[in-house]
Amino acid sequence: MRDKIIEIILNNQDEFTSGEILSKQLGVSRAAIWKHIKSLREEGYNIESVNKKGYRLIEKPGDLLTYKNISHELNTKFIGNKIIHFNTIASTNDYAKEIASSLEEGTVIISEEQTKGKGRLGRQWHSKINEGIWMSIVLKPDIIPYKAPFITLIAGASIVSALNKLGANTLIKWPNDIILNNKKISGILTELSAEIERVNHIVLGIGINVKTMEFSQEISDIATSLYKEDFKMSRVDIVRNIFMEFEELYMDYINNNCKEKTLNICRKYSAIIGKDIYTLKGDSKELVRCLDINEDGNLVVQTKDKIIKEIMSGEVSIRGIKGYI
Ligand code: BT5
């Protein structure tokens, strides 16, 4: 019965199937159908039910970002060893920060939806249900706080490596945006809890637009998704690949102080090196040419007066001369 219900709803794709049709086709009462739908939901099928319209399948359990799905063929030592999965939450970063002290390094908080997803400086991050990857990785490196911002670059390098290995052609807009066809598909928010000499924990928040086809008006000019650009890849595969890429680069940095691989990826896939861009800081805006990303992970730029200077991440925002990038 359960398989038949799934088959009928699945064949109907984006359309609703009414309870009446299901009960007629399957020869059982509507109450019995409802019971089956309830237990399918408990198994992880995301089935929408709308009064007078019926049922519609939004997400199969194989696509949900659960530990069961992600851990299959995941070859990491500690990233993703534990995954706490929510259907909805305010913000995975806020939740991770609340409980970070009791968590093992590498624990991941992941949610199908965020109702108060956030970007840097209190900006909003749109995180619609089942349409993207909204997750936070808890890290507890034995480093001085000064070395923490480089972890944003490690995250950017691992997202780009993972997505490009799966077939996309993404770029990094230093320090924390991932770009596809000149629009933003992903953002990183690194939050640090530290004492002067010691990091307590870092919460590395990653948001990736995967399936979104329609963005709200405020961001429709600057945002895109993998599906929208015709890269139809599985969210589970993306997460698993990011964990593997990230762990390798992160361990190299923390254990061996080796930044080379990360910097090479950030340079090779940079959306801004060699270009003229605007740096924005408060009300001021300056046109500069991007030359490089240096050993510290800072952006090296040349001003109009030919002065070469370094910009630290977090100091400024960057815009292209014609628009977002
Ligand atoms: C970021 O901030 O790009 C960091 C985004 C981090 C989101 C993750 S999701 C999991 C974790 N939990 C959280 O609560 N957050 C993290 P920023 O550079 O400040 O960019 C924010 C700006 O990007 C907004 O002001 C919008 O203009 C734009 N934006 C918002 N939602 C977007 C989306 N879904 N796709 C593309 N652009 C978006």
The per-residue pLDDT for 269 is: 98
Domain at 67-268: CATH architecture: 2-Layer Sandwich (3.30)
**Ligand 1 centroid to 117 CA: how many Å?**
7
The per-residue pLDDT for 60 is: 72
The tens digit of pLDDT for each residue in 90-120 reads 999 999 999 999 999 999 999 999 999 999 9
In DSSP notation, 207-224 reads: EEE-S-----TTTTTTB-
Share of the chain residues as helix, strand and coil, in percent rounded to the nearest 5: 30, 30, 40
To the question of whether residue 228 is assigned a binding role by annotation, the answer is no
**Ligand 1 centroid to 82 CA: how many Å?**
24
**Euclidean distance between CA atoms 287 and 252, whole angstroms:** 35
The per-residue pLDDT for 82 is: 97
The per-residue pLDDT for 96 is: 98
Confidence of residue 236 (pLDDT cuts 50, 70, 90): very high
Over residues 140-144, the mean pLDDT reads 97
To the question of whether residue 184 is assigned a binding role by annotation, the answer is yes
The pair of three-digit structure tokens given for residue 92, joined into one six-digit string = 């995975």
| pTM of the predicted protein model | 0.87
Q: Pick 276-320's CATH classification: 2.30.30.100, 1.50.10.10, 3.40.50.960, 3.30.70.20.
A: 2.30.30.100
27 pLDDT above the threshold of 80: yes
Confidence of residue 13 (pLDDT cuts 50, 70, 90): low
**Cα–Cα distances in angstroms (integers) from residue 81 to residues 155, 235, 297, in the given order:** 18, 18, 28
Q: Residues near ligand 1 with C-beta < 6 Å?
A: 91-93, 114, 117-120, 123-127, 134-136, 176-177, 184, 187-189, 205-207, 209, 219, 222-223
Q: Where are the domains of the chain?
A: 2-57, 67-268, 276-320
The per-residue pLDDT for 12 is: 75
Q: Which residue has the tokens 């990091």?
A: 199
**Ligand 1 centroid to 125 CA: how many Å?**
4
Closest-CA residue, ligand 1 atom 34, reads 126
**Residues 6+ positions from 324 with CB-CB distance below 8 Å:** 182, 183, 184, 221, 222
Fold entry, domain 2-57? Arc Repressor Mutant, subunit A (1.10.10)
Percent of the chain topping pLDDT 90 = 73
Phi, psi of 141 (to 5 degrees): -75, 150
Instruction: Enumerate long-range contacts of 177-180, CB under 8 Å, 24 or more apart.
Output: 178/208, 179/271, 179/325, 180/224, 180/226, 180/229, 180/231
The per-residue pLDDT for 264 is: 97
The pair of three-digit structure tokens given for residue 228, joined into one six-digit string = 């929208």
The tens digit of pLDDT for each residue in 167-220 reads 999 999 999 999 999 999 999 999 999 999 999 999 999 999 999 999 999 999
The tens digit of pLDDT for each residue in 241-250 reads 999 999 999 9
**Euclidean distance between CA atoms 310 and 289, whole angstroms:** 12
**Cα–Cα distances in angstroms (integers) from residue 34 to residues 21, 37, 120, 260, in the given order:** 13, 5, 43, 56
Name the residue of 83, 97, 118, 125 to mutate for ligand 1: max ligand atoms within 8 A of Cβ. Answer: 125
160 pLDDT above the threshold of 90: yes
The per-residue pLDDT for 47 is: 85
The per-residue pLDDT for 38 is: 86
Nearest to 204 by CA among 191, 186, 185: 191
* CA of residue 49 relative to chain centroid, distance: 28
The per-residue pLDDT for 313 is: 81
**Euclidean distance between CA atoms 267 and 13, whole angstroms:** 42
The pair of three-digit structure tokens given for residue 7, joined into one six-digit string = 């088959």
Nearest to 248 by CA among 148, 161, 134: 161
61 pLDDT above the threshold of 80: no
* CA of residue 51 relative to chain centroid, distance: 33
Average pLDDT taken over every residue of the chain: 93
Closest-CA residue, ligand 1 atom 11, reads 205
To the question of whether residue 91 is assigned a binding role by annotation, the answer is yes
Percent of the chain topping pLDDT 70 = 99
Nearest to 290 by CA among 281, 280, 300: 300
